[in-house]
Amino acid sequence: MRAFRVLSAVAGIAAMGYAMIGLFTAPDARPAGTLAFLAAVLVVHDAVWMPIVLVAGLLVTRWVPRRGRSAIRVLLLCAVALAAVGLPLLLSPGRPPGPAAHPLAYPLMVVIVLLTAGLPALVRGRKETERTAVGDPGPDPR
C-alpha cells in the first residue's frame, strides 16, 4: 500500500508539473486569469463544498445503520459527481449541441452507475458488520 501511495503522489506531482509547464508556455495562456480561477475554486471548495460534505457525513453517521454507511456515502458522492458533470448538459436550454449529446437513456445510466458504485460498498459494509459482530477486528487499517 505504501508503494501505491508513493507512486500516486509522484504521478500527481508529475501531472501538476506538466500542467504548470503548459500554463506558462502556451502562446494563448493567461496565467493571472488561471491563478485567479484556481484561487476562487479553492475558496469555494473550502467555504461551500466541504461544509456540505461534512454535514452530509454527520447526517449519514447519525441516521444510517453502520452496515449501510459506506454504501450511502459512496452513492452520495457519485450522485453529486454525476450531477456536477451531467446536469449542465441535460438541463441546458435549446437543442443539444450535437447528436451525441443525448444518445442514451441518461436516467437509467445514472441508476446503473450508482448501483455499480454502491453495491460493492454495501457488500463491504455488510462484511465489516458481520466480522465485528463476532469479535474479529479485521485487518490492520495501516
| 137 pLDDT above the threshold of 80 | no
Q: Do 48 and 80 touch, CB atoms closer than 8 A?
A: no
| 99 pLDDT above the threshold of 80 | no
Comparing 53 with 107, which gets the higher pLDDT?
A: 53
Comparing 135 with 73, which gets the higher pLDDT?
A: 73
CA 115 to centroid of chain Cα atoms = 15
Identify the DSSP state of 45: I
What is the Cα–Cα distance from 53 to 39, expressed in whole angstroms?
A: 20
pLDDT at site 38: 87
Closest CA to 29 of 41, 17, 21: 21
Per-residue pLDDT reduced to its tens digit, 42-89? 999 899 888 988 898 888 888 888 777 877 887 788 778 877 777 776
Query: Residue 133's pLDDT band (boundaries 50, 70, 90)?
Result: low
